Structure 1
Amino acid sequence: MAQPTPLALKPGTAWADAWKRALAAAPEAFREDRVLNLWAGAWQSDGHALPATSPVDGSPIAGPPRLDAGTATEAVRAALDQHRAWRQVPAPERRARVTAALDALADHRDLLALLLVWEIGKPWRLARADVDRAIEGVRWYVDHVDAMLEGRTPLDGPVSNIASWNYPMSVLVHAMLVQALAGNAVIAKTPTDGGLACLTLACALIHRENIPVTLVSGSGGELSEALVRSPEIGCVSFVGGRDTGARIATALTDLGKRHVLEQEGLNTWGIWEHTDWTALGAAIPKLFDYGKQRCTAYPRFVVQRTAFPDFLAVYLPAVSAVRTGHPLAVAHPDDPLPELDFGPLINAAKAAELTAHAAEAVDHGAVPLFRGTLDPARFLPGQDTSAYVAPLTLLSPPASSPLYHAEPFGPVDTIVLVDTEPELLAAMNASNGALVSTLSTDDPATFDRLAPQIRAFKTGHGRPRSRGDREELFGGFGASWRGAFVGGELLVRAVTLGPAGERLPGNFPDYQLMP
């Protein structure tokens, strides 16, 4: 039998190639050996640059130039000065500058995507989609923002953005540009785990259009006082885990500062009195996009026990077809980049943690229904694969396991079997609130009766739900969301001032808007 051709990096896609292109595209923001911070309207050679490695193969890449708390405080004060000038810029001029920035981002789309591949391990298809969603989403706001801003004014201080690493463009840059479009200066902290070079290039292109953007690196603990509690900050937008989010929420509630805090939740897919197995089988591989490192991933299936054999008959072939590997490796130079569902997790430490949680769950009674393997033919010869985890499915995780009640943020599915509707609802609500859920049931009346009892902001009937953008409302229930709900007009309202006494819709102590 002929041996498969060993894979090699597609020409022009090496980290060295991406870095050289970034230097050429934005020489003001990069040096040969590091990136710079952007504050007070200039690129600054400050901060202590730390080493970093790519999750793709463990090779060295650019690390964050971490600031200390004092410098971060200076950056926030400078952003307030920028904010006071920017909020006076007429809306048509703001639209024109944001549009020019979007055109520049589009011109550098493939480079931004390539940096994402190396920095956070996102497959090529999904990396380009992340860039495209940012650009297309903000263009929609450019076209519709005038009506949204009627009778409203910018905040009294800049918006501070602290976001997770998984969607640097379609979540973080998208939010920053909408906030700027609404008349605010914006501050962003580069995520600790990845996205530094991509965000630096994006902010360089935005900054060139005289849009007031600040981009700084540093540890959350070191910079929190400046980026969260500073009196100059007008609003805090946070995307991340519940532990950090809870601390930030407490600080913001004490300060009375407006905020948008999207936090993790265990999104669940329930199956009750269901027979359309073909549709379910078709949906399962898509749920593994980016290794389930998404806030709207579905890592938990709650299945009616009598339907379990039919569920397995479609689930196992579907999960077996999920493709993972090196996102830039090809057999021949002219081959297109591989079509993968996911590549590595964000780093080797996360892969080890997830593997340990799974092993512990099995030790305490969980049943491994499916164990995927990493196919050597999808990797470079001898490459470091320590950040890669193949799909794994566990039946009946013990209640003591983190996999039972928390979002794994990786390609590990858990299945819980139930016999009654109350059991179904209890298992779907295990994490006290989620962003999305799905219930597969044949009877529309059953869906209408059960769906309102599922503590998720959006519940799909036999189909997955997404985070949403543009005109679609977005939020969460329970501990998965704090502060203002956003989406379309509400995203603009969250970062602008309206009539006196206006109450923002969202998860505040005295106000709750049901979706």
Structure 2
Amino acid sequence: MAAPTLILKPHTAWAAAWQRCLSVAPEAFTDDRVRNYWNGAWQADGRVLAATTPVDGTPIAGPPRLDGAAATSAVRAALDQHRAWRHVPLPERRAKVTAALDALSEHRELLALLLVWEIGKPWRLTQADVDRAIDGVRWYVEQIDRMLVDRTPLPGPVSNIASWNYPMSVLVHAMLVQALAGNAVIAKTPTDGGVACLTLATALAAREGLPLTLVSGSGGELSEALVRAPEIGCVSFVGGRDTGARVATAVADLGKRHILEQEGLNTWGIWNYTDWPALATQIRKTFDYGKQRCTAYPRFVVQRSSFDAFLAAYLPAVRALRLGHPLAVESPDDPLPELDFGPLINAAKAKELGDQVAEAIERGAVPLHRGDLAEARFLPGQDTSAYLPPVTLLNPPPASPLHHAEPFGPVDTIVLVDTEAELLAAMNASNGALVATLSCDDRQTFDRLAPQVRAFKVGHGKPRSRGDRDELFGGFGASWRGAFVGGDLLVRAVTEGPTGERLPGNFPDYHLMPD
């Protein structure tokens, strides 16, 4: 039987979302572009780059990129804001942040819809991204009094440079907590997506008097202002290792406070394990958003003697994955589809990852599963160049990037091992990661092996996440630099405490002790 013809869900088109932005925040959106926000005003500056959505190639708003001189002016203006804001009483700051959260809640669905179009995240996940930002900051509003006892804001504003995949729950969340703690806040919109969502969120918060700056531009051109400028009190970076390494070098040279979260190859080890039904329920969840997450698990390290049982649990879960256009439905009254993932962030990334898969297979990797876009949910004739079906490879060759680096896409690799030493070596292939999981039937075996896995969080038979609120988060090795964050520490990282205070983190003379 032929698959039904799909249509775009009514009232979800990009043009409709854009018109809603013009109505809600006319100060930030013009007929054909978004504006930068600095010096307490929306600025019609910057060179606008053309942009298209990864969902189906529809033209969308591009970032208005500033040059270095304009960014320097924005940072200097932010310092003036900071000097005033740091003296605003905490009850007033709390009231203003709470009002901003109420405004974000009012426009929750529009923020989520913008994320669908800008970064290709399915509806269920964009809503979760918005909700985590709002709910997370509300928790800080409730806890902030005790967190700020004997603490003061930093000498200068906090500069945020983050990746495109979690604009609300990572970037906006951080911005509002930093402002709540008494700092002016600067944020650079990610080059690859999220500018309209971040512009709307900033407009809603700025109306409540929060000292925010939102600018667009290339990292290379703006780094002198956003990273090296003496006005900056702290640099918070979330992104890849190459850019992160350059930022790390700059802040280390300047002795500047910093939080740098970088990619790592998160691994899932299988050793002396038999609860395959439990594993099967977890596999599909690991593909949320096509593994375009810093806490995704793209590598499984499997005991060779259990490989057949592992595949029997793994393959049905992967074959059940649903992908396609996040807003495509069969009839106008249908709810939006429950997809595991949609496109990658752009067509170039899909091609790059597809080429890496092809090269790995040519050099000896064994394809265990390759999905087919013909089975995905698409509109008739739509552009599908940013989509990549799930792929699973056995034993990627050492020369392949898939052997040692995070693919940031729906590609799993499996490595077979025979000894515990091989297990640990394979799980530590990228010299540090944010999370890992080890599935062992015996808790004592897990307790013995887990401390030797170079990931900040190691789960026993279940995935670990970035976490928030009162859960500490960080990384090991090349996956993290600077202060660890979470709960009180997220506030401590952007405030000053007693003289001689040391924040937990992998600074040169600090070693985090296990619990």
Match of 2:198 in 1: 199
Give the deviation of 1:10 after TM superposition.
0.4
Give the deviation of 1:376 after TM superposition.
5.3
The CA distance in 1 between the partners of 2:424 and 2:380, in whole Å, is: 47
Match of 1:35 in 2: 34
Give the deviation of 1:119 after TM superposition.
0.1
Match of 2:161 in 1: 162
Match of 1:47 in 2: 46
Match of 1:314 in 2: 313
Match of 1:512 in 2: 511
Match of 1:266 in 2: 265
Q: Check whether the contact 2:263–2:479 (CA below 8 A) recurs between aligned residues.
A: yes
Is 1:95 aligned to 2:94, yes or no?
A: yes
Q: Check whether the contact 1:396–1:417 (CA below 8 A) recurs between aligned residues.
A: yes
Match of 2:278 in 1: 279
Q: What 5-or-longer segments of structure 1 have no aligned partner?
A: none
Q: CA RMSD in A?
A: 0.6
Secondary structure at the residue paired with 2:259? strand
Q: Check whether the contact 1:7–1:377 (CA below 8 A) recurs between aligned residues.
A: no
Match of 1:388 in 2: 387
Match of 1:298 in 2: 297
Give the deviation of 1:512 after TM superposition.
1.9
Match of 1:185 in 2: 184
Give the deviation of 1:61 after TM superposition.
0.3
Match of 1:469 in 2: 468
Amino acid at match of 1:494: A
Match of 2:344 in 1: 345
Amino acid at match of 2:282: A
CA, structure 1 residues 59+376, in 2 after alignment: closer, same or farther (shift >3 Å)?
farther
Matched residue pairs, number?
A: 514
Q: Check whether the contact 1:229–1:251 (CA below 8 A) recurs between aligned residues.
A: yes
Is 1:365 aligned to 2:370, yes or no?
A: no
The CA distance in 1 between the partners of 2:511 and 2:82, in whole Å, is: 30
Match of 1:58 in 2: 57
Match of 1:215 in 2: 214
Q: Check whether the contact 2:162–2:238 (CA below 8 A) recurs between aligned residues.
A: yes
Match of 1:244 in 2: 243
Q: Check whether the contact 1:269–1:437 (CA below 8 A) recurs between aligned residues.
A: yes
The CA distance in 2 between the partners of 1:389 and 1:68, in whole Å, is: 34
Q: Check whether the contact 2:323–2:376 (CA below 8 A) recurs between aligned residues.
A: no
Match of 1:144 in 2: 143
Q: Check whether the contact 2:55–2:384 (CA below 8 A) recurs between aligned residues.
A: yes
Amino acid at match of 1:393: T
The CA distance in 2 between the partners of 1:35 and 1:514, in whole Å, is: 46
The CA distance in 2 between the partners of 1:97 and 1:198, in whole Å, is: 20
Which whole-Å deviations, capped at 9, do the CAs of 1:108-155 have from their partners, x for residues lacking one? 000000000000000000000000000000000000011010000000
The CA distance in 2 between the partners of 1:96 and 1:512, in whole Å, is: 38
Match of 2:488 in 1: 489
Which whole-Å deviations, capped at 9, do the CAs of 1:378-413 have from their partners, x for residues lacking one? 100010000000000000000111001000000000
Secondary structure at the residue paired with 1:506? coil
TM-score in terms of structure 2 length: 0.99
The CA distance in 1 between the partners of 2:107 and 2:58, in whole Å, is: 24
Give the deviation of 1:375 after TM superposition.
3.5
Amino acid at match of 1:444: R
The CA distance in 2 between the partners of 1:390 and 1:452, in whole Å, is: 35
The CA distance in 2 between the partners of 1:491 and 1:38, in whole Å, is: 25
Match of 2:228 in 1: 229
Give the deviation of 1:482 after TM superposition.
0.1
Match of 2:80 in 1: 81
Q: Check whether the contact 1:361–1:401 (CA below 8 A) recurs between aligned residues.
A: yes
Secondary structure at the residue paired with 1:236? strand
CA, structure 1 residues 377+503, in 2 after alignment: closer, same or farther (shift >3 Å)?
closer
Secondary structure at the residue paired with 2:373? coil
Give the deviation of 1:5 after TM superposition.
2.5
The CA distance in 1 between the partners of 2:438 and 2:92, in whole Å, is: 46
Q: Check whether the contact 1:284–1:315 (CA below 8 A) recurs between aligned residues.
A: yes
The CA distance in 1 between the partners of 2:22 and 2:216, in whole Å, is: 19
The CA distance in 2 between the partners of 1:18 and 1:46, in whole Å, is: 23
Match of 1:408 in 2: 407
Q: Check whether the contact 1:329–1:380 (CA below 8 A) recurs between aligned residues.
A: yes
Match of 1:119 in 2: 118
Q: Check whether the contact 2:264–2:406 (CA below 8 A) recurs between aligned residues.
A: yes
Q: Check whether the contact 1:440–1:461 (CA below 8 A) recurs between aligned residues.
A: yes
Secondary structure at the residue paired with 1:303? strand
Amino acid at match of 1:253: A
Match of 1:5 in 2: 4
The CA distance in 2 between the partners of 1:4 and 1:151, in whole Å, is: 64
Amino acid at match of 1:95: R
Give the deviation of 1:192 after TM superposition.
0.4
Q: Check whether the contact 2:151–2:497 (CA below 8 A) recurs between aligned residues.
A: yes
Q: Check whether the contact 1:4–1:377 (CA below 8 A) recurs between aligned residues.
A: no
Amino acid at match of 1:96: A
Secondary structure at the residue paired with 2:69? helix
Secondary structure at the residue paired with 1:393? strand
* Same amino acid, percent of matched pairs: 80
Q: Check whether the contact 1:6–1:377 (CA below 8 A) recurs between aligned residues.
A: no
Secondary structure at the residue paired with 1:43? strand
For structure 1, which segment, 377-386 or 182-191, has the greater mean C-alpha deviation from structure 2 after superposition? 377-386
Is 1:397 aligned to 2:396, yes or no?
A: yes
Which whole-Å deviations, capped at 9, do the CAs of 1:434-458 have from their partners, x for residues lacking one? 0000000011110010000000000
Give the deviation of 1:513 after TM superposition.
1.2
Which whole-Å deviations, capped at 9, do the CAs of 1:433-492 have from their partners, x for residues lacking one? 000000000111100100000000000000000001000000000000000000000000
The CA distance in 1 between the partners of 2:5 and 2:136, in whole Å, is: 40
CA, structure 1 residues 477+273, in 2 after alignment: closer, same or farther (shift >3 Å)?
same
The CA distance in 2 between the partners of 1:377 and 1:263, in whole Å, is: 31
The CA distance in 1 between the partners of 2:493 and 2:356, in whole Å, is: 38
Give the deviation of 1:507 after TM superposition.
1.1
The CA distance in 1 between the partners of 2:375 and 2:283, in whole Å, is: 24
Give the deviation of 1:374 after TM superposition.
1.5
Give the deviation of 1:504 after TM superposition.
1.1
Q: Check whether the contact 1:325–1:375 (CA below 8 A) recurs between aligned residues.
A: no
Secondary structure at the residue paired with 1:459? strand
The CA distance in 2 between the partners of 1:67 and 1:260, in whole Å, is: 24
Give the deviation of 1:347 after TM superposition.
0.2
Give the deviation of 1:348 after TM superposition.
0.2
Q: Check whether the contact 1:507–1:513 (CA below 8 A) recurs between aligned residues.
A: yes
